[in-house]
Amino acid sequence: MQKIPTNSLSSAKAELPLDFTGPHITAGASSAHRLYQALCEMIVSGLVMPGEPLPPSRTLAGQTGFRRNAVVTAYERLIADGFAQATVGSGTFVAARIPARAAATKKPKVIVETPKQGALSLGCTHIDERAVQRFRAFVGRRMRAFGGEHLHYGDPRGSRELRVAIADHLLSARGLRCDPDQIMLTSGTLHTLRIVLGALLKPSDQVWCEDPGYPTARKAITQCGYRTIPVPVDAQGLQVAKGRTAAPHARAAYVTPSHQFPLGVQMSMPRRLELLDWAKQAGAFVFEDDYDSEFRYDGAPLMSLAGIDHLQRVIYMGTFAKTLFPGLRIGYCALPERLIGDVTAARAALDRFPATLMEGAVADMLNSGAFAANLKRVRKLYREARDALAETLEAASDGALSVPVPSQGLHLVARFDPSVASAVAAEAKQAADAEGWLLADTYARARPLPGFVLGFSGHAVPQLVAAAERLAKESRARLRAKGRQARRA
């Protein structure tokens, strides 16, 4: 055990009794994380007393051999987690009261991913441990610099700092050029729909929705008092001509053009231009839900609808639920300039303004490069999970399921032959006790295709493979049972 002797912590040169070899240290972790763990162990073990000073970061860096920025990061995490406190001009001190959870376990942990849903569930995410560490540090720093912006009602669109960071991100990631004044922060896609539709539409106005499509968005639009018009989807995306026939004077359309939910098709460029032409002619607006564009695995995505349209008739919607974690409850939209006043007023009337405490930390993640670094690492994990799930379903189902491998996104679709009854999928899913959705449940009016919508993000590969094997086995069994019944009939 590497021990640094201590005499008195009252001196700036005092050395700390740090242990870097015990079971509390995560092998292979970063220097900052190992130093944080050693400091925590020292504090909860009572080797230093509450209220005692910790050495300056430069001094501790010299004593331990770690870089100073690693020491600063470790101190920031100690403060954020309640193990230490900082006083301007005086330095950093052991907290007067150690957090009860840490004192009881004597082993602080960083919980990176613990989704309660089973494998194949949709909407689960993973955030890299390094990103968690950076986010903790940013939150701690923002709390220590707590300012007057949290003490009064703010801009209904949210903090300008985060809106500027989002505008920069959209330009680099999606080719969408917009002013930060056009960005509004929300708690997510459904919140965005409620605010913006409320500012633009009258009760009973018609809204095109993809069929099949995202059932939760369709339900939200209906509950707001608008009439949803199911428009069929084919291999090129929303069939605009059928939308024109069904409801030519609809006031809005909700679409997922980059990666259609659930089928995964990408709206073709001719179909995109056709949709924008309809919106211009009808005086309607298009809601572009770009819910997973950051997770592209093969090739470059087509430009966003909003980028093609230059934010004239398109409201672009995004969220940090998938790229960071759902618990943030931070989403955003990019608005056409002429809508800013009406939508801002609608937001102020609905819930005044967004929560402010996390905005600065998210801006720090975007501006520091930590956001992009997390995406790069997580994208690799999701690609491996996608491939494992698709390969297992194809092999274990023995031809019963067709599994197109998506080039983007966080879910895939496993389909039976269209001639198979939807009940087969429902029976197989129940018998396998599988998570995920039935593909049939995403349809509103069109004839449902039999199959499953299965999530692969945020799940460990062994659990995904085991769940996929059970589902494939039951799918094969149910299909054969139906075949025997048909032959006897």
Bridge-partner residues for 87, per DSSP? 91
Residue with tokens 């201590």: 6
Res 487: pLDDT = 62
Res 115: pLDDT = 44
Res 414: pLDDT = 97
Measured in residues, the chain has a length of: 489
Q: What is the pLDDT along the chain (489 residues), one digit of tens a residue?
A: 343 333 334 343 357 888 887 777 887 778 888 898 889 888 877 778 888 899 998 999 888 889 999 898 989 888 877 888 888 778 898 988 776 544 334 444 443 444 457 899 999 999 988 999 999 999 999 999 888 889 999 999 999 999 999 999 999 889 899 999 999 999 999 999 999 999 999 999 999 999 999 999 999 999 999 999 999 999 999 999 999 999 999 999 999 999 999 999 999 999 999 999 999 999 999 999 999 999 999 877 778 999 999 999 999 999 999 999 999 999 999 999 999 999 999 999 999 999 999 999 999 999 999 999 999 999 999 999 999 999 999 999 999 999 999 999 999 999 999 999 989 999 999 999 999 999 999 999 989 999 999 999 999 999 999 999 999 999 999 988 876 666 665
Res 17: pLDDT = 81
